[in-house]
Every structure is written in C-alpha cells, then in structure tokens.
Amino acid sequence: MSTIAKNQNPESNARVKAVFDDIRATRRSDFINNMWHYLAFDTDLLENTWAEVKAVMATPSALDPLTKEMLYIAVSVTNGCGYCAHSHTAAAKAKGMAADQHADLLRVISLAAKTNQLATALQVPVDPVFDADHRP
C-alpha cells in the first residue's frame, strides 16, 4: 500500500536511470530498494535525495559508516518510520553490525527514550554549565 503508484518502467527516463546506475555502482549491488522506486515519481526529488544520501552516508567523513547507519536507525525508530527501520537495519548488518552491537544499540535508544520522558515530565531546568555560549 503506497500513496503514489510505483513506476513500472522507471529507467525509461534517462535521469532516473542515471541515479539508479549510480546507486548500483556506489553500493556494488544490483538491488534498488523501493524507496528509490517510489521517489522516482519526481525526478528532481529523486536526484536531490540520492545526492544527499550519497554525500552523507557513502562518502568518507568524520564518523565511520557503521556509526552513521546506527544513528540513522536511532532517528528512524524514534520517528516511528517502519520502512526506515527495516532498510537501515539491513544496511547496518551489511556493514558489519554484530548481534551484540545490535542489542547494545537497542539498549541505548530505548534508555534514551525513557529518560527523555523523565526529563520532559519533570521539566528539568538546563544546568547553566551546559550552555556553550557561557562556558568559560
């Protein structure tokens, strides 16, 4: 069930084909997951989204690729995005996330949600020392 019909022949559009080709080359895999098939309803949206995902997630940066996937999972789960929880958990496993790392990830993100509730319920005032603008 989706809100946009899946394009049955997306690569007949040259710009879509170029994005799909780049996804395949970047990931070294023939598999194009549904996210990209559905985004293909608007070529600009597809191109810009892929360009950003590639720049942030598939380009060497200050954080390693697995850490970035786990952060992606943390946000996706907190936002309740089922599709994203699935796709990024699969990606994290493909990048080597072991079972004990997966369990640790779940421990941290569920504990964070728990203490977020406590801090918000108590409306705990921010300690002045945490203010970066006024730290000595």
Range 100-129, binding a second copy (CB under 8 A): 100-127, 129
CB 69 within 8 A of CB 92: yes
- In the block, tokens 């989204």 appear at 49
Judged by beta carbon, residue 11 or residue 47, the one nearer a second copy is: 47
Q: CB of 21: closest distance to a second copy in angstroms?
A: 19
Q: CB of 49: closest distance to a second copy in angstroms?
A: 7
Size, binding site for a second copy by CB under 8 A: 83
Query: Would you call 31 helix, strand, or coil by DSSP?
Result: coil
- The reply on whether position 13 binds a second copy by CB under 8 A is no
Q: CB of 37: closest distance to a second copy in angstroms?
A: 8
**33 to 92, contacts with a second copy by CB under 8 A?**
33-35, 38-39, 41-42, 44-45, 49, 52-53, 56-57, 61-63, 67-68, 70-90
Q: CB of 123: closest distance to a second copy in angstroms?
A: 5
Question: Residue 90: how many CA atoms within 13 Å on its side-chain side?
Answer: 7
Tell me, what DSSP letter sits at residue 7? P
CA 110 to mean position of chain CA atoms: 18
Judged by beta carbon, residue 17 or residue 78, the one nearer a second copy is: 78
As given in the structure block, the two tokens for residue 126 are 């921010």
Query: Would you call 74 helix, strand, or coil by DSSP?
Result: helix
For residues 72 and 79, what is the distance between their CA atoms, to the nearest angstrom? 11
